[in-house]
Amino acid sequence: MFVYDPADHIVEDTGMQTIGLIGGMSWESTALYYKLINERVRDRMGKLHSAPLLLYSYDFETIKQMQYTGRWAEAAASLAEVARRLESAGARAIVLCTNTMHKLAPEIVSGVSIPFIHIGDATAQRIRAKGYRRVGLLGTKFTMEEDFYIDRLRAHDLDVLVPPTEARADVNRIIYDELCLGVVADPSRHRYREVMAALVAAGADCIILGCTEITMLVGPGDTTVETFDTTAIHAETAADFAIG
């Protein structure tokens, strides 16, 4: 955890808003955030423009242990403190670079006075703009099985389908045991294709890639319906906020 000194307050005279990123969950997907945000800024503003960003990157093993031992209050306190420090350092919005830890979004929001750009809202808005209503959701077991994420999507009038128990276990295992370690394996891609096909057969008219690492494994060519990459959507939304 870094220690904030008021003398270290960072001011960027770029005409853009500074974004505070809470990353490292995992660093594989956080690297994608950095790339995608800056590509969006470059494409919209041209020349050599890139985004003013402040990044705190966690040791993900610590976070995983908190998740799997139910130490959510401890994780919430840590994330909220990081968000406060990013705000103090000059961030004008907070982006949490993970789907699962949005379980603790209320605690983060309550600790800062700047906007929190919620990945579920950004994704749902993009889906609704395309006219879809019934979505298939892939993610960690926490994202697929708990209410914090699904209810956020339902608040946008979306009907959410998740895979059955065995398939959820496979999807979750591949995220933690492979993708978070940078391992992209063909058998796992095949399994994800099977799971997505089953969601489509059950009535899903699009698929949410609801874990920021999933985009490393599958994309538009791996299913017969449109996919929504939460990493890209969240990063683009953050970049657009920075540009204003």
97 labelled catalytic = no
Active-site entry in 98, 100, 143, 227: 98
Rounded to an integer, what distance in angstroms lies between the CA atom of residue 140 and that of residue 76?
A: 18
Three-state secondary-structure class, residue 30? helix
CA angle 219, 223, 25 (to 5 degrees): 35
The C-alpha atoms of residue 164 and residue 85 are separated, in whole angstroms, by 40
CA–CA gap between residue 49 and residue 13 (Å, rounded): 12
- 98 has catalytic annotation: yes
Q: What CA–CA distance (Å, rounded) separates 37 from 185? A: 27
Site of tokens 């995983």: 64
Among the options 143, 211, 231, 237, which is catalytic?
211
Q: Dihedral sign, CA of 229, 42, 86, 126?
A: negative
11 near 235, Cβ under 8 Å? no
Asked if 96 and 105 count as a contact pair (C-beta separation under 8 A), the reply is yes
Spatial CA neighbour of 214 closest among 196, 202, 199: 196
Active site residues: 98, 211
